[in-house]
Amino acid sequence: MSADVQVVDLRSADAQRHPTGVRPGTATRLIVVDDSTATSGNHDAYQRIATLGHLRDVVLVIVGPVTRDETRRPSLRPSAALGRTAVVLWVGDERGIRWEGGSDRGRAVDPEDGSGLDDLLGVLRVEQVFDAVVRHLRQVPHQTASPAVDLVHPSLKPAQLRELLARCLGEVARPADVRGGPPETRAELPAVRASVERGSRLERARTEARQRLAHAARTTADLTRWNGAWNPGGRRARESVAHASAALEAHHALVVDAVRLAGPLPPPDDDALAALGVPRPQPVEHKEVGDALGGFLLSTLRSTGSLADTGRELRRLVNGQAGGAGQEAVGTPPPLRRQAAANGWTPVLVLLPFVLLTCLVPAWLPHFGAATGPATAVLWLVAVAFLLANRAAQRPATPPALAVIAAAAVAGVVAGTVLPPPGGVPELVEVVADVLCALAAVGGSLALWRVLAEAWTATLALAPGQRANDRLAELVDGSVVVPQANAAVRRRTADAAMLLAVGCDDVREVFAARAGDGGGGAGHPELLDVIRADLVLVGAASLDDYLAAIGSGASLSVAPEAVTGRAHKLLAEYEDHLLTRGVHQQPPIGDADVRQDVDTAFRQGAADVRRVLGADGREEMTQLCTAADVLRRLDPDWPGVRVVRFAPRRLRNSSEWPGPVVEVDRDVVGLLRLVPLRSGVVRPVQPTTPGEDEPSDGTGGAC
């Protein structure tokens, strides 16, 4: 019920003694209910009401049949003590009759229908309807009329709404896995961006390792080119790999120290970490922490629909703030050299037939063979000796390899000398053959170099080493640098999340104490969704004091009495809104989005709403009087009848309706038909002296 429309029922003895029990300064609109047999004698009560200066309008509802005055004439005799502030609604019969107006004699109402008076008083409690009724009644004679009521409630009756509320309270209090399990949620918590200090030991170590590994990769790649034997050469390649391995191990050692110093136990050593290049903890932005945790609380409540699960997620968030990586996460850097799979003799042995052949052919030819055969053998030995001396691989050993090559070369020269030389070979042809054999010796030597270089580079692990170095840098940044820079934020977040988790438990106890067994409210899934969504917001709002403390940087302490007290207050306010204004009307703490589907479905299927708002007042309605009253006391002349239509905002704006619709803030759609009384039926009574009432002629009365 609105705080600005209150009811005084003078039919009770206590109300007659204390009719001014209205809260002073709050009610500007008052409904006074009185019996038709007593209204003319309750002048004192009305005069006391009239002294309430804050009252703006009064609707006097007179219940019961007309009475006879001192002349035995049947009439309605309201007291004129309220003056023109009051308008009058006469309810000749609380249940009423079904009447179309005009010459219709009316029909009895359905025995199962409730009291029409209750419906009338219910809608008069709505401020907008109250004001519209007062405005219309001031336009009829004596400001008095007989009301007819036709109401449609888009939601349910209060008892049914209580069942739905109890069921939803239980669902929000219980773990969501009873209804299928909560989805995963993530917290977008504030974090300070940080990296190792420029020029620090960690920054120098990671940079040097990265550069050394990159240089080793370039050097070893150049080694397999045709000129790799002297640029860069095997010795430089071996040195670059050794330097890269040493730099990677040095970086790894510093990372191990950093992870050890940043471990949870004992607490991080800020000074030692700063010496390595890890920044010190940054100040906490408390508002950001409060906003982030408030968003996480609400999103988790909405996604799980459960205070129990939200408390669990908050505790999981607390555990996640421990941060840091264990020593096992660092691992060991991979070796940059692997054991060779073969002994290295295969390329040398494959080359021997070519050595033998290229030495045999020059020695066999007739003109210059005595010189070119040994020269080719020497060329082989010099080229292979140079290449073996500059290689990076250690196998096969140089002396045995040279001995084998020399043996093959000597064998070729001897064989060419022993064999009879061919006849008729021109000198030019022999020169070409000698040159080709010399080039073959050079090419074969270079091929041997490339094969040996590729075999050696295949034993390297430079790419895994580069990845390991990058992983060490990422590990330090993610598990040491950022957590250390955010250490104060993480501690504040953990404390705040635990406070909210305890608060969720306290609110859950309040909800559980009011919860039902889950059996009520079946068949209304769309309304259950709305109430659950509202209760989620009520639960979150119950923790506003905690969130305010978190966001302000105040010290955090558990205050269960404050949380449960606020939860009780908000829940009572929500229940009052639900029972008086319905599900469709959004409460101050309520979800607007979830109501859209319900409103759409209601508009599409509410035939009763279209019937009521589309009526012009001449349809059959429940007129709160008797059949005799219709014939003798009401004035059915249509121009004098007033019609009040009312509906919530979402339904009132339509071109379908034949007349204006009053916007109300309740979940009710209806039509009031106000039928004036015949001339002479209303005879206001003016108070005179105590114990003496005199009827008014209607010219000086208030009504």
Residue-wise pLDDT for 286-305, tens only, equals: 898 899 999 999 999 988 98
The one-character DSSP state at 655 is: T
Are 376 and 354 within one domain? yes
The one-character DSSP state at 143 is: G
Are 17 and 118 within one domain? yes
* Among candidate residues 347, 274, 313, the one with its CA nearest the CA of residue 181: 313
In terms of C-beta density within 10 A (0-12 exposed, 13-18 middle, 19 or more buried), how is residue 21 classed?
exposed
Are 396 and 277 within one domain? no
CA distance 90 to 36: 9
CA distances (Å), origin 444, targets 374, 381, 402, 481: 17, 12, 14, 55
Residue 701 falls inside a structural domain:
no
Are 11 and 146 within one domain? yes
Residue 186 falls inside a structural domain:
no
Are 146 and 209 within one domain? no
CA distance 410 to 414: 6
The token pair at 302 is: 């909405």
Are 118 and 168 within one domain? no
CA distance 262 to 110: 80
CA distance 214 to 231: 17
DSSP calls for 483-516: HHHTHHHHHHHHHHHHHHHHHHHHHHHHHHHH--
Q: Which residues of the chain have pLDDT under 70?
A: 1-3, 13-26, 154-155, 177-194, 226, 228-230, 232-233, 264-267, 322-331, 337-344, 390-398, 516-523, 592, 596-606, 650-656, 688-703
pTM: 0.60
Are 35 and 136 within one domain? yes
Are 14 and 134 within one domain? yes
Residue 584 falls inside a structural domain:
yes
Residue 182 falls inside a structural domain:
no
Residue 504 falls inside a structural domain:
yes
Domain end marker among 600, 618, 645: 600
Which structural domain range is residue 438 located in?
Answer: 346-457
The token pair at 400 is: 């045995």
Are 15 and 143 within one domain? yes
CA distance 674 to 419: 140
* Among candidate residues 609, 654, 527, 622, the one with its CA nearest the CA of residue 106: 622
List residues bridging with 277 in a β-sheet: none
Are 275 and 137 within one domain? no
Provide the 3-class DSSP secondary structure of residue 277.
coil
Residue 236 falls inside a structural domain:
yes
Residue 534 falls inside a structural domain:
yes
Residue 189 falls inside a structural domain:
no
Specify the length of the chain in residues.
Answer: 703
CA distance 625 to 633: 10
In this prediction, residue 68 carries a pLDDT of 81
Check if the beta carbon of residue 331 is closer than 8 Å to that of residue 410: no
Check if the beta carbon of residue 676 is closer than 8 Å to that of residue 640: yes
Are 402 and 475 within one domain? no
Q: 157-193 b/e with 16+ CB inside 10 Å = b? A: eeeebbbbbbbbbbbbbbbbeeeeebeebebebbbbe
Are 446 and 590 within one domain? no
Domain total in the chain:
4
Check if the beta carbon of residue 283 is closer than 8 Å to that of residue 488: yes
Structure confidence by residue, pLDDT tens digits, 193-231: 667 888 889 889 999 999 999 988 888 877 777 676 667
